Structure 1
Amino acid sequence: MEKKNESVFPATFPGAPVIYLNTYSNEGQKVYEAAQAVGCPPFSLVAVSDLDWNRDMAPWDSPAAFKNGEPFTGGADDYLRLLVEEIIPRAEKELVGPPAWRGIAGYSLAGLFALYTIYQTDVFSRVGCMSGSLWFPGFKEYVFSHEPKRRPDCIYFSLGDKEAKTRNPVLKTVQEKTEEIQTFYQNKGIDTVFQLNPGNHFAQGIERTAAGIQWLLNR
C-alpha cells in the first residue's frame, strides 16, 4: 500500500463537520474554494490523493470498462482500512476539536467508493456520490442485498445528463442504476436526492462536487 497524500483544510469553527474526499488528481484545494464560493456552512475538508484509482476505489475485481482501459483490482477494503486507521486520526489532529459528524464524498469511481464504505464501516454518516460509477458490475445487487453498518443520515447522488448516452454497454446503465439505487434508499426513509446536471462525465467536476458537499452540509 503506497503512501497516500492527504491535504487538510480545517474549519476555524470548533466542532465543524468534516468531509473526506478521495480525489483523482488532487482537486482538494479547488473543491474547497468552490465550496466557499457557493456559501457552504463552516466545515473541514480532508482531500486524499495519490490513489491507485482502479484498485483503491474498486470494491472487487472487474474487467476494464473501456477498450484500452485498465481492469479493476478490488482494493477498496485495504484502502478503507488505511483511511480509517491512519489517515482519519492523523488528519483530525489538525482540526479544532472533534467534528460534529464525518461525511465521505467522491466523484466517479470515488463516488462508488463513498457509497461502498457505509457497508464496511460506521465512521461516516453522510455520503456524496457525484457522477458515481454505479454502473460497476454487481454493485446495484450488492446494495440491494446488504445492510449498511450504520444507517446514513443522508445521501446525495448526481449525474451529468449525457453520461448514459454512450454506446458502451456497461457505462450506458449508469443513470438507470443510479436512479434505482437512489429510489431504494428513499423507500427506506433515508434523506436522499438525485440531481441531474447538464453535460457529460467530465463537465464541471469541481462544481458538481462542491454542490454535493453543500447539500450534505445543509441537511
Structure 2
Amino acid sequence: MNIRGDLMETIKNLQCFIHGKKQAKYLLIQPIDEHDLEAMEEEIETINKTTKDYLLVGILVNDWQKELSPWFMPAIFGNQDFTGGADLFYQEVKEVIKEVKVLYAMQDANVIIGGYSLAGLFALYAAYQDEYDGVVGASPSVWFKDFLSYTQTHPIQTQYVYLSLGDKEEKARNKIMASVGDCLRTYQSYLQNETHCVLEMNPGNHFKDTGIRVGKGFSWIIQNLNHA
C-alpha cells in the first residue's frame, strides 16, 4: 500500500490523505500527523474487517499544539504552549468535509470524526460544535485544562462516542498526562445518559498500536450505525 505517494491530495489548501471509494456510506474524518501516516496501513486493515464502504480523509496538521487545542493552556512538556487555534482550524476542516462530499458524491454519507491523542480531543470538541454520526477519541487528551467543565455546559451533538486508552498511560511520569484515566472515566460518566458511549482499554502505553486503536474506534461506530 502506497501511503505517502499517490494517496495524498490538496483539498481547500490542506494536504489530505485519501483512501476508500466514491459514493461510500461512511465518510471518516481524521486530523493526522506524520506518525499517523506511518500507522495508516494498520488502521485501514482494521477498518476493512468491518466494512470497505467508506472514504477515509486524513487531514495533515501543521502545528499540533496550536491547531488542535481549543483554548490556551501552558506547556506541560517542553516549552511549547497550547495556543488555542482549534476553532480556526475546525472551520478549515468543515470546508474540507463540504468539498469532499462534492468531489466524491457523498452528500448522504454518515460522517464520523476521530483522532488520536490531541487529535482525539479535537474530534470530541468538534462534536460539541456540529452534529456528527459518531466521534472517536482514541487516547484523547481529555486532561486538557477546563475541557471536562466545558462538556458540562455544552451538549454533545452525536449519539455514538468511542473512547479508548492504553492500560499503561496512567503510569506516565507527567502528572497531568497520568490523570488521563480518571479524566476519561469521568467524561464517560458524563456521556452515559445522553449517548451510546464505550471506553475500551488497550494493552500498552500511549504510543502502541495507534493506527489499530483509531481503526477499532471507527469500526465500533460503523457497527453501531449499521444496527441502529
Give your verdict on TM over 0.5: yes
Deviation at 1:41, TM superposition (A): 4.8
What TM-score does the superposition give when structure 1 sets the normalisation length? 0.89
User: Residues 58-111 of structure 1: CA distance to partner in whole angstroms, max 9, x if unpaired?
Assistant: 000101111x24110000000011111x21122223324424311100000000
- Which region of structure 1 is more displaced relative to structure 2, 106-115 or 31-40? 31-40
From 85, 93, 100, give the equivalent of 1:91.
100
1:117 lines up with 2:110 in the alignment: no
CA distance in 2, matches of 1:130, 1:171: 14
Deviation at 1:45, TM superposition (A): 0.7
Change (3 A) 1:214 1:39: same
C-alpha contact 1:18 1:99 (8 A) present in aligned 2 = no
Deviation at 1:153, TM superposition (A): 2.0
| CA RMSD of superposed structures (Å) | 2.0
CA distance in 1, matches of 2:63, 2:85: 9
Deviation at 1:30, TM superposition (A): 2.2
CA distance in 2, matches of 1:58, 1:5: 20
Aligned length: 211
From 84, 103, 115, give the equivalent of 1:106.
115
Aligned match of 2:200: 195
SS of equivalent residue, structure 2 residue 140: coil
Aligned match of 2:190: 184
CA distance in 2, matches of 1:179, 1:112: 15
Aligned match of 2:5: none
Deviation at 1:142, TM superposition (A): 0.8
SS of equivalent residue, structure 2 residue 82: coil
Deviation at 1:38, TM superposition (A): 2.9
User: Residues 126-148 of structure 1: CA distance to partner in whole angstroms, max 9, x if unpaired?
Assistant: 10000000111111111122223
C-alpha contact 2:20 2:52 (8 A) present in aligned 1 = no
1:146 lines up with 2:154 in the alignment: yes
1:165 lines up with 2:171 in the alignment: yes
CA distance in 1, matches of 2:217, 2:51: 11
SS of equivalent residue, structure 1 residue 102: strand
C-alpha contact 1:8 1:94 (8 A) present in aligned 2 = no
Change (3 A) 1:127 1:97: closer
SS of equivalent residue, structure 2 residue 165: strand
C-alpha contact 2:28 2:55 (8 A) present in aligned 1 = yes
SS of equivalent residue, structure 1 residue 136: coil
Q: Between the two proteins, what is the percent identity of the paired residues?
A: 30
User: Residues 181-215 of structure 1: CA distance to partner in whole angstroms, max 9, x if unpaired?
Assistant: 11111123x11100000100000101111111110
Runs of 4+ residues deviating >6 angstroms: none
Amino acid at match of 1:154: Y
State how 1:1-219 maps to structure 2 within 5 Å: 3-12=13-22, 14-25=23-34, 27=37, 29-30=40-41, 33-66=44-77, 68-84=78-94, 86-122=95-131, 124-148=132-156, 150=157, 152-188=158-194, 190-219=195-224
Gapped regions of structure 1 (runs ≥ 5):
none
Amino acid at match of 1:131: S
